[in-house]
Structure 1
Amino acid sequence: MRLCWLIFFLPSLLFAQVSTPKYANEYLALGVGARAYGMGSAFQSVSSDVYSGYWNPAGLMGIPTDELQVAAMHTSLFAGIANYDYASIAARTDSSTSLAFSFIRLGVDDIPDTRFLYDADGSINYDNIRFFSASDYAFIFSVAHIFPKTPDLHFGANVKVLYRNAGDFATAWGFGFDLGLKTKLGKWDVAANLRDATGTYVAWYHETSLLSQIYAQTGNEISDQSLEISPPRLIIGASRRFNLLEEKIGIRPALDLLFTFDGKRNTLISGSFTSIDPYAGVEFDYKQMIFVRGGAGQVQKSKNFDGTESYKVTPSAGVGLKIKNFYIDYALTDMGNVNDALYSHIFSLKVDFSLNNE
């Protein structure tokens, strides 16, 4: 029991040499930005700024020419146990190309390592407790482009470099690719994003000398290294801004459909080949300066105590304010979809800088 924290954060040590777990690298699916969270993460076709480096790289073409955008977000998850941070920068390099870089960290810090809790004489010595962190990092390099013959069709791609560690016990490096498209159908914005397009590979390296005592009595074999592969997932979305009162008030409904191809999942539509998870949201704005948002997603079936089944939906809500070139957003949502009592407060900031020297 004294090593439960360590065992909890090293599940990959029990995987085979190559594994394709359904929920590998799920920290990359958490989302970024309070605006997106407030809309229930129905954001594929909505995103058209620096946040597109995460949501859909094709949306980076929505950044105005001669403008650089910077964004940041911080929140705590699971009643403050984990810290989730994000930062990004993006700019148009010319009329047909945009570039972006995004950074993500999800970490649990100050985890007690009690392997040396007991002295040689068997007495407990709390001064021997050491602490370590279990952290997941993502470095995302994005490019978006439009071709002169198809100016309404935007293309984008991500290159993702991943680093994960659990103290000195295990480290991992990985890489993957995303491909995005965005266009207009009439007055509707339509987008598609193929995440982990060729599968995202993460290679784990385990310090077996530090772990042999932990699993000595479990009968599990610990390998020096293992490989995880995250299968592709497809997200398609559509949205439109409706103008009211001479464009003073805007209403933007949005819908995303997440397709996974790794067998049945606990989603609204579940099949042996693909499962479909819908996300819906809406944003109200006044002169595109004051924003109110709401949304819902992650529809899951749960069993009640009386044996009946019901569907659970994760709601979200948020507000935003634009002050000159500053965007401040807030959202309240159950990010981990774990417990109604563990709602997270999410704050994010975006700043637009003009690169025009005139």
Structure 2
Amino acid sequence: MRVIAILIILFISSHTSGQVVRKYSNEFMNIGVDAAALGMSSAVTAHTADVNAGYWNPAGLINLDDNQLSLMHSSYFANIANYDYAAYAMPLDRESVIGISLIRFAVDDILDTTQLIDDQGNINYDRISLFSTADYGLTFSYARSLPVQGLNVGVNAKVIRRVIGNFASSWGFGFDLGAQFESNNNWKFGIMARDITTTFNAWSIDKNEFAKIQNAIDGQNQELPETTEITIPKIQIGLSKLVDFNYDYTLLSSVNLNVRFEENNDIISSSFASINPALGFEFGYVDMVFLRAGMGNFQNETQFDNSQQLSFQPSFGLGFKYRGVQIDYAFTDIGDQSVALYSNVFSLKIDFSYFR
């Protein structure tokens, strides 16, 4: 009982720290969506051009000719946590597109044993209950083409909902802004500013529920105030080029520079900002079969002898598209090159133009 109670306290504390600004608030919104993009190490800011652009760069939604639907599922931490995503986008006219997407990252059916033993030391298994910790991100996207040829812009309005059983919950709101530009020779440029106005989360704690575990640690009186988290902005800059070979074969090459305004272990880091590059490649055959690979998450890791060693996270993926239906698979963290656990990611995309 003490162990479970302590874990609940620590989990709530990690979400509702008294700090005004948290570097890693709402990190579930940074995991990424679409197995095709994840197979390229998420280096898609410049060329994303389907329903999933609502997440990667809303300016890319302007490339839709008809309605599209996307679904994705992945499991993390030995299937303990489930990560699910759904998105839908539709053109309003030739110059504007809207979209909506939902992300859910959750650990379900956690045993709450805080009431297993009463004040007299009696054990009652009927007092065991289940609860979930779930993070939700609902995004509304809008994209529009500008009078400048090849230039498109997009904006996201995000609603964040985070729930820790009956113990604590929060609401959050924020905005993203993106732009893409395509030159006449198939070069594409993109920029995505996440949480451009900062994204805040206002937390509230159920005092009655928290009182049940308040004395889980002997001699300590745990007090967790209602707080506000602020997620600092991040910028992603992308460049990509598509090359055709003999009509049947294509090679898409892309690079991203992911900028955080903090000092960390990224390959380029200062007190003002850090930069982490990502590289992605996609080899296509007759716009039907795709083979993808990428490298990202470059980190300067400190070894036991205080030396620095560069690590990275590779990824690869496969894709198949036929008559408006596309199925993609991605496998990340090959060979355990980074501290993150590997994941198998599957996604489905449906283009309704093929069914009209």
Verify same fold: TM over 0.5: yes
Q: Work out whether residues 5 and 111 of structure 1, in 8 Å CA contact, stay in contact via their aligned partners in 2.
A: no
Q: Work out whether residues 155 and 180 of structure 1, in 8 Å CA contact, stay in contact via their aligned partners in 2.
A: yes
Residues 132 and 234 of structure 1, relative CA distance in 2, 3 Å threshold: same
- Cross-structure match for 1:129: 128
- Cross-structure match for 2:286: 287
Q: Could you tell me how far 1:277 is from its partner in structure 2? A: 1.1
Q: Does 1:181 align with 2:179?
A: yes
| C-alpha distance in 2 between matches for 1:73 and 1:159 | 21
| C-alpha distance in 1 between matches for 2:305 and 2:271 | 28
Q: Does 1:327 align with 2:329?
A: no
- Report SS of the residue matched to 1:250: strand
| C-alpha distance in 2 between matches for 1:265 and 1:347 | 31
Q: Work out whether residues 187 and 241 of structure 2, in 8 Å CA contact, stay in contact via their aligned partners in 1.
A: yes
Residue identity in the other structure for 2:243: F
Q: Work out whether residues 68 and 355 of structure 1, in 8 Å CA contact, stay in contact via their aligned partners in 2.
A: no
Q: Work out whether residues 241 and 252 of structure 1, in 8 Å CA contact, stay in contact via their aligned partners in 2.
A: yes
Query: How much identity, in percent, do the aligned residues show?
Result: 40
Q: Does 1:314 align with 2:322?
A: no
- Cross-structure match for 1:165: 163
- Cross-structure match for 2:4: 2
Residues 283 and 355 of structure 1, relative CA distance in 2, 3 Å threshold: closer
Q: Work out whether residues 16 and 229 of structure 2, in 8 Å CA contact, stay in contact via their aligned partners in 1.
A: no
Deviations, residues 186-217 of structure 1 (Å, cap 9, x unaligned): 42110001110100011001112221353444
- Report SS of the residue matched to 1:221: coil
Q: Could you tell me how far 1:151 is from its partner in structure 2? A: 3.1
- Cross-structure match for 1:228: 229
Deviations, residues 147-203 of structure 1 (Å, cap 9, x unaligned): 3x2131101000001111001111100100001100113421100011101000110
TM-score by length of 1: 0.92
- Report SS of the residue matched to 1:210: helix
- Cross-structure match for 1:253: 253
- Report SS of the residue matched to 1:136: strand
Q: Could you tell me how far 1:11 is from its partner in structure 2? A: 2.3
Given candidates 150, 154, 174, the residue that maps to 1:156 is 154
| C-alpha distance in 1 between matches for 2:162 and 2:307 | 40
Residues 14 and 289 of structure 1, relative CA distance in 2, 3 Å threshold: closer
Q: Could you tell me how far 1:334 is from its partner in structure 2? A: 3.5
- Cross-structure match for 1:50: 51
Q: Could you tell me how far 1:14 is from its partner in structure 2? A: 5.3
| C-alpha distance in 1 between matches for 2:300 and 2:9 | 29
Deviations, residues 112-147 of structure 1 (Å, cap 9, x unaligned): 111111145413333321110000001100000013
Q: Work out whether residues 16 and 203 of structure 2, in 8 Å CA contact, stay in contact via their aligned partners in 1.
A: no
| C-alpha distance in 1 between matches for 2:96 and 2:300 | 43
Residue identity in the other structure for 1:2: I
- Report SS of the residue matched to 2:61: helix
Q: Work out whether residues 198 and 231 of structure 2, in 8 Å CA contact, stay in contact via their aligned partners in 1.
A: yes
TM-score by length of 2: 0.93
Residue identity in the other structure for 1:5: L
| C-alpha distance in 2 between matches for 1:9 and 1:62 | 42
Q: Could you tell me how far 1:259 is from its partner in structure 2? A: 1.0
Q: Work out whether residues 280 and 293 of structure 2, in 8 Å CA contact, stay in contact via their aligned partners in 1.
A: yes
| C-alpha distance in 1 between matches for 2:337 and 2:72 | 19
| C-alpha distance in 2 between matches for 1:239 and 1:179 | 19
Any residues of structure 2 matched to 1:252-271 within 5 Å, and which? 252-261=252-261, 263-271=262-270
- Shifted more, 36-45 versus 207-216: the winner is 207-216
| C-alpha distance in 2 between matches for 1:105 and 1:348 | 15
Any residues of structure 2 matched to 1:77-92 within 5 Å, and which? 77-92=76-91
Unaligned runs of 5+ in 2: none
| C-alpha distance in 2 between matches for 1:338 and 1:5 | 26
- Shifted more, 151-160 versus 3-12: the winner is 3-12
- Report SS of the residue matched to 1:73: strand
Q: Work out whether residues 321 and 327 of structure 2, in 8 Å CA contact, stay in contact via their aligned partners in 1.
A: yes
Q: Could you tell me how far 1:288 is from its partner in structure 2? A: 1.2
Q: How many residues align?
A: 349
